Amino acid sequence: MKWCSELKISIITAVYNNQKTIGQSIDSVLSQTYSDIEYIVIDGASTDGTMDVLRSLRSRLDFMISEPDSGIYEALNKGIKYATGDVIGFLHADDIFESNDVLMKVATAFQNPKIDAIYGDLVYVQQDDMSKVVRYWKSGQFHVAALHQGWMPPHPTFYVRRSVYERLGGFDTSYKISADFDAVLRFLAIGKIRVAYIPEVLVRMRTGGISNRSLKTIALKSLEDFRALRKNKVGGSLTLLKKNLRKVGQFWHR
């Protein structure tokens, strides 16, 4: 078993044309008090000035590449391929950590060698004011039966040992929106990995993500979520309905 100070955590940020927010996300990683971090940034050949920000911070990144890709899931798979850490997590280009000791808490949770993954809570915040919470995603404890009730941990708080990705695979890029949902179901329902819950907010996520930008993307996400549920033998239409209904209460919990 590796003790907390010996556990390397790889953080992957995929970015494409996020000039306004990428610097804040990178600063959030670089401000973490935990020292053994490998920071990987995968840029999809941005054209809006994102690369100017990345170049200014290049010396503080462990790995950075900029080239065209088919979308965020291909970019995240690239990051996983290049990662050398014991544990892999993601911080999206619109997000920040809730505090500068989040990764210390993650590393501490992984001191238990029986734990394959950990997760926590997440808040959605306003695009222009990250202090204003719009929605509070309180995960709660995991049990297998909860998957059939539409339970799911917020993927931006989901940290997994690299050995799990090596054994169960990365993101299925045939999904455009729900590959993270599919991966979590594959790990929990098929792979039956062992998880632990950190009962506090780990990440602040801006609203306006791709999954709810329009009626078209909402419909596509529902179709992809249904396919992921069926593929991983977790449920079908009723489970999908329960998954979506769970979101309603998150708007009232501040």
Condensed to tens digits (0 to 9), the pLDDT of residues 85-95 reads 999 999 999 99
Cα separation, 90 vs 83, in Å, equals 11
| Domain layout of the chain by residue ranges | 7-250
251 confidence band (pLDDT: 50, 70, 90): confident
CATH topology of domain 7-250: Spore Coat Polysaccharide Biosynthesis Protein SpsA; Chain A (3.90.550)
Average pLDDT over the chain, rounded to an integer: 93
Alpha carbon 1 to its chain centroid, in Å, reads 25
DSSP letter at 13 equals E
- DSSP bridge partners of 12: 40, 90
The region, left, alpha or beta by phi > 0 then psi within -120 to 50, assigned to residue 235 is: left
DSSP letter at 153 equals -
Percentage of residues of the chain with pLDDT beyond 70: 94
pLDDT(2) > 60: no
Percentage of residues of the chain with pLDDT beyond 90: 87
254 confidence band (pLDDT: 50, 70, 90): low
CB atoms within 10 A of CB 56: 11
141 confidence band (pLDDT: 50, 70, 90): very high
pTM over 0.75? The answer is: yes
- DSSP bridge partners of 30: none
